[in-house]
Amino acid sequence: MSQIKHVFKVALALWFGFWFVMGLLLLYPAFAITLSNPKWYSTAHKIRRVWAWWLFFWGGIRVKQIIEKPFNRHKPYVITPNHSSQLDIVTLTGKLKMDFNFMAKMELAKVPVFGIFFRTIDIAVDRKNVRHAAQAYQKALKQLGEGKSIVIYPEGTIPSHTPKLGRFKEGAFKLAIEKQVPVLPVTIIGNWKVLPEYGKRHFMPGSVIQYIHQPIPTKGMHINQIGELMDEVKKIMEAKLAEFGY
């Protein structure tokens, strides 16, 4: 029976992978045009949301969004979600109705077709190159100054013990304090069940919860309070995961 389940989940992973690529290819001309000019990046992000909903449909993914307290979606935020699956980018794009860019590892810019985002609208970071990392940081500061929100996974990568949170890095919180913009914590529950990162390549249609916490203001905070802010965000997210038994 377990072998049958394994084969079934692998088949579903191939199914999901097919529609993942097919959606990108069908929309690629629209992406190529709108990502050719920074003035059209907001339109490109809206088209990317269409791609996410395409995957929700073909993948049988149901995302329930819970907003702790209404907030101004037109203000810039440093958005800090937990990172438990490659599906995180998709579920955030599809359900978080804001104009935002991702800031993530350089390797994503090298992925065929999908990499177009991290060569244009998003910010790719080469963590092994200090100079490149500094340039990416300055680009993020500039975008926040222009009113654009930035998504940064504070764990940096998907921890092997997910859904438990990994060690947080300071970058997102330093950025928020330096620019004096609020941090918007997001706890995503269930992505790792639908598309697990480690172990066998499986996929299983299912439900995901995206919990949008109340924004945490940073106005008046100083750089020496990075640790304090980081600990506050981590405790909020750990508490929400614990509510669901994780």
Q: What is the pLDDT of residues 147-177, one digit of tens each?
A: 999 999 999 999 999 999 999 999 999 999 9
CATH no. for 2-243: 3.40.1130
Ranking 19-28, 97-106, 160-169, 206-215 by mean pLDDT, the lowest is 97-106
Cα-flanking dihedrals φ and ψ of residue 20, to 5°? -60, -50
As a whole number of angstroms, the distance between CA 209 and CA 68 comes to 13
Helix and strand tally (H, E) in the chain?
7, 7
Q: What is the mean pLDDT of the chain?
A: 93
**Predicted local confidence at residue 108, as pLDDT:** 82
pLDDT tens sequence across 83-104:
999 999 999 999 999 999 999 8
> Would you say 218 and 177 are in contact if contact means Cβ atoms under 8 Å apart?
yes
pTM for the full model?
A: 0.94
**Predicted local confidence at residue 150, as pLDDT:** 97
**Predicted local confidence at residue 1, as pLDDT:** 64
Average pLDDT over every residue of 102-120: 87
pLDDT tens sequence across 115-157:
899 999 999 888 788 888 888 889 999 999 999 999 999 999 9
Instruction: Look at residues 92, 75, 74 and name the one whose alpha carbon lies nearest to residue 83.
Output: 92
**Predicted local confidence at residue 200, as pLDDT:** 66
Extents of the domains making up the chain: 2-243
